Amino acid sequence: MSRLLQEYNNQIKESLKSKLGLKNLYEVPKIKKIVLNMGVGEGKEDAKLIDKALEDLTLISGQRAVKTNSKKAIAGFKIRGGMPLGVKVTLRNKIMYEFLDRLVNIAIPRIRDFRGLNIKSFDGNGNFSMGIKEHVIFPEINFDKVDKIRGMDITICTSARNNKEAIELLKSFNLPFIDKQTN
């Protein structure tokens, strides 16, 4: 069992139940899945870029990533229908908690000029999305073998009913949020 999942079951669940004023332990929000997405727009000219991004995302996530194709043709961008434009992977259960542990404890502290995650990045239904400009912050990526630094999106889907519950859940997993109420 993952260290973070064990901590959630033993400590975080009870503290969230009392903090949110919930009656039942099954009402406590939990993380359902984490979706990693890497858009590779230059892949329309060179298919090897898509393969390299696929390899990098597979290394980062610990699970095989898949290519995402365009749904329809867009002449202005020289894109045909069915052309591969990115890669994605959906993490659940044990792999999801292991990735979240690496993200919080290893990758986020390696981000340059990091001040905290924006608390406004929730969608209203308890899901949190963040963007990373450099995928080389993950220790699995060998910096010497990187052909191009790419960005990626990370979406954490929770069972929380609103943003307040989701914020408390993710803060209990030690995600470093910054509250921008000074502006």
Tell whether 120 is covered by a domain.
yes
Q: What is the pTM of this model?
A: 0.84
Nearest 5 degrees, angle CA 78-CA 153-CA 113? 115
User: Span 40-63, mean pLDDT?
Assistant: 81
Tokens 């001040």 identify what position? Answer: 115
Q: Lowest mean pLDDT: which of 34-43, 69-78, 87-96?
A: 69-78
22 lies in some domain: no
Counted domains in the chain: 1
**Domain assignment of residue 23, yes or no:** no
Q: What's the average model confidence in pLDDT over 24-52?
A: 84
Please state, rounded to an integer, the average pLDDT across all residues of the chain: 84
Instruction: Answer whether residue 178 is part of any domain.
Output: no
In a domain, 78, yes or no: yes
The CATH number of the domain holding residue 49 is 3.30.1440.10
9 in a domain, yes or no? Answer: no
Cβ atoms 58, 42 nearer than 8 A: no
Range of the structural domain that residue 52 is part of: 31-173
Residues 30, 157: Cα–Cα separation, whole Å = 9
pLDDT of residue 181: 53
Say whether pLDDT at 75 is over 70.
no
**Position 136 in a domain:** yes
- Would you say residue 97 lies in a domain? yes
